[in-house]
Amino acid sequence: MTRSLQNVTYRRPSVLESAEGGRRLGLETSRGATPAGAEDHPRFFAGFLTRPQTAAAGLLAVADVAAARYYQPQLRASLDPVVTGNGDRLRFESFSGCCGVYARLDVLRSGLDGGDVGHGTTNVDVNNPLREALSRIGADDPLHLRVGPEELAVTTLDGPVVEKKVPLPDRWLRGFAEAQVIASAFDLRAELTAAEAVRFLRSLPRGSRGGGPRWVVPAGRSLRPTTRPVPGAVCLPGPERLASLQRVLRHATALRIYGPAVGGDAAAAGAWEAVLPGMRLTLTLSPDAARGFSGEGGVLEALAGEEAAEDAELISVLLAWEPRVDIADLAASSGLTPERVRAALVRLGTSGRVGYDTAEAAYFHRELPYDAGRAERHNPRLRAARALVDAGAVALDGALATVTAEDGHTHRVRGEHGALSCSCLWWAKYRGGRGPCKHALAVSMVRRGRTGGTQNGTRGGAAVDGGVR
């Protein structure tokens, strides 16, 4: 697994401290993006939380996921959550170290009392002493929240700078891109009352188990397990990965479950949202505990298309850290069709510039504090497809295409009902369920006229960098 180190610097550790009239929670920020450009330590909010204990539990749940590995849990994970100010809310996001769980706490306007919410995205320090202090917050404790540094004159006297070198696996960064594409196909499938949510979640097994995926289906006011994906069912792969929801159950007013339309017996991702007073905590699970979001392939078509890349550049200048991106407004402002706007948003999502909120069925703007092109450059299937095109390995013949792989084997790619199928082992195994194989992706590139491809049947002999993924 390719890894890099991200240098994260905070002026001081985040801390929960006693103060006159209550307690003060100071969350320190690192270098991030704002409307004015990059800032070393942006400040997004200073005011009170209307539900301090609930917010503390939600923030701890996001930190739990950032520190967890649900697959191969013996390996260490420690990733700082990301915070985004969207003008009317604060969003705290994290990804598990195994890339299979995405967590987000949305603190809405009704959860914040006083103070304007800024715009921008950065990492936030949630250290172990702070976690211990947050777990002791009482229900009636007034809590003042500050996201970002105090005035410079004060912070320069507050102790040593905190520096961290955080390991960032490439697949973890690609997971952020894939999760928003997958979630955009979700619909609300079930909603449980708080009491039923507690009963259901506490009935789930605490440890992992083998075998096929679990499925649940709405039954009256609750959910019941089913052995097969009947209409309306939601996949629940690795139910132990919902453990972080336990932190907020006592505060929840409802539990909402989102998922795609059932199609076949294949496992599917799903989102589980705890509705809280003034807040929402959402956990999105990959289709299997041993299968991270990074290999799902939902963004490959968007990355391969030159038109989507050009459209994304145009759409990017129209985004303004909006909490809810209106596709119709963007289409009117850009002159693009709604379909092209959606494709551009998917493309922007590959660099972390948009996320998707299942509760509002809408994209939102944020700027992850990572190299924007890294997910694209380090996607093995995309690299392999581009190498095939550059080698002249694709020959088109109407709806049929022949791709000569690096080992000399030929693969047939056929267009059917707007989709491509392939004779390779990848397609035979996943049937398009994890995006296109490298051969189908290369054919798509050539059909779109990507430079370096051929449409006359000639083939080059250059080696392909990358294997079947």
Rounded Cα gap, residues 348 and 326, in angstroms: 15
Q: Which fold has domain 3-169?
A: DNA Polymerase III; Chain A, domain 2 (3.10.150)
**What's the confidence (pLDDT) of residue 452?**
35
Q: What's at 352, amino acid-wise?
A: G
Q: Choose the CATH number for 300-374 among 1.10.10.10, 3.40.50.10540, 3.40.50.12780, 3.40.50.150.
A: 1.10.10.10
Question: Whose CA is closest to 358, among 246, 190, 221, 241?
Answer: 190
Q: Which residue has the tokens 């891109």?
A: 177
**What pLDDT is stored for residue 374 in this prediction?**
65
Q: Which tokens go with 145?
A: 């929240």
pLDDT for position 87: 95
Q: State how far the Cα of 348 lies from the Cα of 464, in Å rounded to an integer.
A: 27
Q: Give the residue extent of every domain in the chain.
A: 3-169, 178-205+217-293, 300-374, 379-447
Same fold: 3-169 with 300-374: no
Neighbours of 457 (CB within 10 A): 11
What's this model's pTM, rounded to 2 decimal places? Answer: 0.83
Burial of 456 (0-12, 13-18, 19+ CB in 10 A): exposed
* Predicted confidence pLDDT, tens digits, the chain (469 residues): 555 677 889 999 999 998 877 889 999 999 999 999 999 999 999 999 999 999 999 999 999 999 888 887 765 666 789 999 999 999 999 989 888 999 999 999 999 998 899 999 999 999 999 999 999 988 777 899 999 998 543 333 344 578 877 766 667 777 887 888 889 889 999 999 999 999 999 888 776 555 567 899 999 889 998 888 888 899 998 899 999 999 999 999 999 999 998 877 788 899 999 999 999 999 999 988 888 786 656 666 666 666 777 898 899 999 989 999 999 999 999 999 998 998 899 888 877 889 999 999 999 999 887 665 666 666 788 888 889 999 999 999 888 999 998 878 899 999 876 678 899 988 888 777 777 889 988 998 898 775 433 333 333 333 323 332 2
Give the model's pLDDT for residue 431: 78
* Residue 154: per-residue pLDDT: 35
Long-range contacts of range 324-327, CB-CB < 8 Å, 24 or more positions apart? 324/357, 324/360, 324/362, 324/363, 324/364, 325/354, 325/362, 325/363, 325/364, 325/365, 326/362, 327/363
Phi and psi torsions of 138, nearest 5°? -90, 165
> Burial, 396: exposed, middle or buried (Cβ in 10 Å; 0-12, 13-18, 19+)?
middle
